[in-house]
Structure 1
Amino acid sequence: MSGLVGKRLLAVFCVLVLVMPVFSSVSASTSTSGNVVEDKVWSKLKSEKGPVEVIVTFHGDDKPTAANLELLETLGISKAVSLKSLPMVGAVVSKSQVEELSQQEEVRSVVLNEKLTYYNAESTEYTGVDRARADENFKQQNGGLPVTGKGVGVVVNDSGVDGTHQDHQFGKNLVQNVLGSANLQSLTGIVPVPYVENVPNTDTNSGHGTHVAGTVGGTGAMSDGLHEGVAPGADLIGYGSGAGLFILDGIGGFDYALEKQDEYNIKVITNSWGGSGDFDPNHPINIASKKAYDSGIVVLFAAGNEGPDENTHNPYAKAPWVISVGAGTKDGALADFSSRGTEGVGGTFEMDGKQWTWKDEPTVVAPGVDIISTRVIAPLSGLSAPKDIQMIAPEHLPFYTVMSGTSMATPHVAGITALLLEANPNLTPDQVKQIIQDTATPMAGHQSWEVGAGYVNAYEAVKAAFALK
């Protein structure tokens, strides 16, 4: 395993190596019983005597229908969670039940509920955020105020957020904090996915999501603004699944974002995690991210931490409707650990009646090395990481910590996205992605399969967003 630079007491981040086929063409519009069930499900059933946890995705654009749920009951499935805005159910199933599901026309896919991996501020200066905030012309176009992401809802789909931290205090700029972890084994019957809202602190065993939230929209309250996030005016919505993240937890964050989109003006969802395997448009995570995109939500994924090798890109970051973020140093270089795509690899597929083209490369690179952001509030006795002591003033040590990874790069671009959507609320997800690509700074010596369009440039991106109003 290669990747993470920053030392952290509470979490270790890595991404599993994935292998991509050379230039593939996939049809996502239909599927047959032969390919409904992914191979990982069959392998798991062979290696284990008991039932396994899977995600069953039905054809459709909304929550599972009464007929879908009745099918599960008919098959004797008695432990399941039904999502509220996505046509998916997390279920505990036997081999015979999987065989039956594979023959049902309404079933789009059955995949293993496997464990995912988290990819583990002067950065606002290097990305051009500080310059964008200070620009008088931008202020004039923004009603006399600097762009801060004001009013833009950003879902942090992660391990959780410590809302007792004043930089993202619950009830203030952390407008909602949700505990969304679901334990399928403890269930009886087919029940709606359990969301526990209004939880002050959902990040009690990791710290990863708290750090991400601070980069997106921390106010810098505990450092007199020194360690402020990219979009301190944004409305943060934490969706916390704990240190152990599974596919059901990841799609749960998307489901919540869709369910509460209008209530919190959710325009962005940031995901600093990933997994392994080939890019498959029919995978539930890709279906969920596509549904969010269709609803006008900008979706971001970390590229992964398995660089510098080629062909190490997070499969969920390859969907053409998402923004994939690699990690760079603060002086504009590419981090050694940042995952790369594969030269010349991509393909076309049909989904929802439209032809899509994807490329195995990140969209853009952002700061991801030695990033200072908020830590879970903890006793000083636990603060011994050398980087923290070296880089953070003693009076700020209880409130901030240093981490590295594409996990830290992704929330920079999520915050910049919030700035763009404040500057021009009418931008579509496609327009946001195009602006970020068009305004990025080219990175000499690197090809697009390594860095995408280059290093993100917030100032030029905000300028372009205003120009499109």
Structure 2
Amino acid sequence: MTGRFVRVLAAVALVGAPVGTAAPAAAVTPPPVDNRMLPPQGPAAPRHPTAQSETCDAAPVVQTRPRDDRPDLRAAWVRTRGAGQIVAVIDTGVARHRLLPHLVPGGDYVADGDGTEDCDGHGTIVAGIIGAASDPSDGFSGIAPDATILGIRQSSMKFRVTDGYGGSGVGDVESLAAAVRAAADQGATVINISSVACLGVADTLDDRALGAALAYAVDVRNAVVVAAAGNVGGRGTCPSQNPPPDPAAPAQPDWDGVEVVASPSWYDDYVLTVGSVDADGAPSAFSLAGPWVDVAAPGEAVTSLAATGEGLVDTMPGPGQPAPISGTSYAAPVVAGIAALIRAAAPALTARQVMHRIESTARRPASGWNPLVGHGVVDVLAAVRGIGAPAPAGAQRSPAPSPARVADGRPGRFALTGAAACAVLAVSALLLPRRRSRRHTEAVPDDRGPGGAEFGAAR
């Protein structure tokens, strides 16, 4: 699906009207963080009148069945199950479900709900991967079953703006930025963003409000932000794939050769970006490559929670027959769940230290890094091994001071979605000097020992 919109989202693949003019070829990086662009604190609400325009999706519910045992995850649960952590799911909302006993409302930027309605089904699938409670009847569980899920509805393809802008869908960069700040202010220790803004580098986008919100979440509120890399081909497409690594420097991120930009992923100083792999650990054909990709996780043939009823789903509605649930949208919450486990086991670690630990304990590719899987496929047992006792349930972090405001600017308006396969927003690259990642400055030692097991997909 493609469309041209100034403000409202398109569901799976969106190619929106470009803003700005083409720029000469150069290294592409996000604009410097402008703290004056930080959205103001306040309750969640749509910025414009909206109305539901389509019936809610209802994917076929699968019969519950025994799942493959995951000894690595079960071994990690001896140390931590994510208690005391709040994982914000900024998405299409998170429906109440028998396997989400720790779901709390976080706000609604689409309609007048509280974040616990999900007409698209996407956000509930994401939340189930992160924090579904263990179900003895079939073995289903999320990665961090004792974590609290903070449901925030930021986008939906089943609603439309009614004040004359036209188009289908609700949600944009401004509402995503506001949702990131709201999640951080509500105490989220981990924030999952399975929405991707994606377009070629010949266009420009002012997404400084999102950059400011990400910096606030990480450096002021000490939250780990995890984002999907984006999808190429099929439904939910980025326009094309980025080039393979330079044979002369195979392990070096190539910002000069980028042809397709993904936001928020390109804010690499603040975001842990996740690509997708199949059950054997091979990069998924649809996973967008880029110099900002940090790690990878299973994102194919996923089973998770149904947004309607109390069962499980393994397909999503679409044109023709329902499609298997696959996409980097579903790889990201695997990593968000692991981040919650780490934070519960080692609450003294900063957000950047948690991000570094996930990277440094991943199963590295032969090159040491590559633009499809980053530092490698995440390893849940290695990530939690040897990092202290779990935090008590309900542990709280000290409030952080408000950020300084140091610059000026005006946020751009673009479409954004978190629906189906990995939703894509039309954005482009501002061609600016590349900033050096600061994540390594708070690195913690990699104490990974022998016997770490690669984390397997939730099927």
Q: Please indicate the TM-score interval, normalised by the length of the shorter structure.
A: 0.5 to 0.7
- Matching residue within 148, 154, 162 for 1:235: 148
Q: Tell me the equivalent position of 1:336.
A: 285
1:155 and 2:88 are equivalent in the alignment: yes
Partner of 2:289, secondary structure, is coil
Per-residue CA deviation, residues 256-283 of structure 1 (Å, 9 max, x unaligned), is 213322xxxx200100001134597862
Q: Identify the residue that residue 137 of structure 2 maps to in structure 1.
A: 224
* Aligned residue number for residue 132 of structure 1: 76
Gaps of 5+ in 1: 3-10, 31-57, 64-82, 93-120, 134-138, 140-145, 184-194, 342-359, 388-400
1:316 maps to 2:264:
yes
Query: Post-superposition shift, 1:122?
Result: 5.9
Deviation at 1:368, TM superposition (A): 0.2
Partner of 2:108: 180
Tell me how far apart the structure 1 counterparts of residues 32 and 205 of structure 2 sit (CA, whole Å).
8
- How far, CA to CA, are the matches of 1:227 and 1:275 in structure 2? 31
Conserved? CA contact 2:180–2:213, under 8 Å: yes
Task: Report 1:423-442 matches (<5 A).
Answer: 423-442=345-364
CA distance in 2 between counterparts of 1:384 and 1:436 reads 27
Pick 1 or 2: higher relative contact order, CA cutoff 8 A, min separation 6: 2
Query: Contact between 2:39 and 2:213, CA under 8 Å: does it hold in 1?
Result: no
Aligned residue runs from structure 1 range 39-438, under 5 A: 59=36, 63=40, 83-84=41-42, 125=70, 128-133=72-77, 139=78, 146-163=79-96, 165-168=97-100, 172-174=101-103, 176-182=104-110, 196-197=113-114, 201-203=116-118, 205-221=119-135, 224=137, 226-241=139-154, 242-243=156-157, 244=169, 245-261=171-187, 266-277=188-199, 283-294=208-219, 295-306=221-232, 309-310=241-242, 311-319=259-267, 320-341=269-290, 360-378=291-309, 403-438=325-360
How far residue 60 of structure 1 moved from its aligned partner, in angstroms, is: 6.7
Distance 2:69 2:275 in 1: 17
Q: Return the offset for 1:178.
A: 3.6
Q: Structure 1 375/386 Cα, relative in aligned 2: closer, same or farther at 3 Å? A: closer
Distance 1:13 1:404 in 2: 12
Distance 1:386 1:173 in 2: 25
Deviation at 1:411, TM superposition (A): 0.3
* Superposed CA offset, 1:169-216 (max 9, x none): xxx311x12441257xxxxxxxxxxx754x6x411x200000000000
Distance 1:304 1:364, change over 3 A: same
Point out the structure with the larger helix share: 1
Distance 2:316 2:196 in 1: 28
Once the two structures are aligned, what percentage of the paired residues are identical?
26
Contact 2:39/2:178 (<8 A) preserved: no
Preserved CA contact (<8 Å) 1:182 1:249: no
Shift of 1:284: 1.4
**Distance in 1 between the 2:217 and 2:354 partners?**
14
> What is aligned with 1:13?
12
The size of the alignment, in residue pairs, is 318
Tell me how far apart the structure 2 counterparts of residues 161 and 379 of structure 1 sit (CA, whole Å): 13
Give the aligned residue type for 1:157. Answer: I
Give TM-score, length-normalised by structure 2.
Answer: 0.60
Q: 2:231–2:327: 8 Å Cα contact kept in structure 1?
A: yes
Separation in 2, partners of 1:61, 1:227: 39
Q: TM-score, normalised by structure 1?
A: 0.59
Partner of 1:28: 32
Letter of the 2:225 counterpart: V
Report the structure number with the largest CA radius of gyration.
Answer: 1
- Residues 276/173 of structure 1: CA separation in 2 closer, same or farther (3 Å cut): same
Change in Cα spacing, 1:378 to 1:450, as seen in structure 2 (3 Å) is: same
CA distance in 1, matches of 2:314, 2:148: 32
Task: Provide the aligned C-alpha RMSD in A.
Answer: 4.0
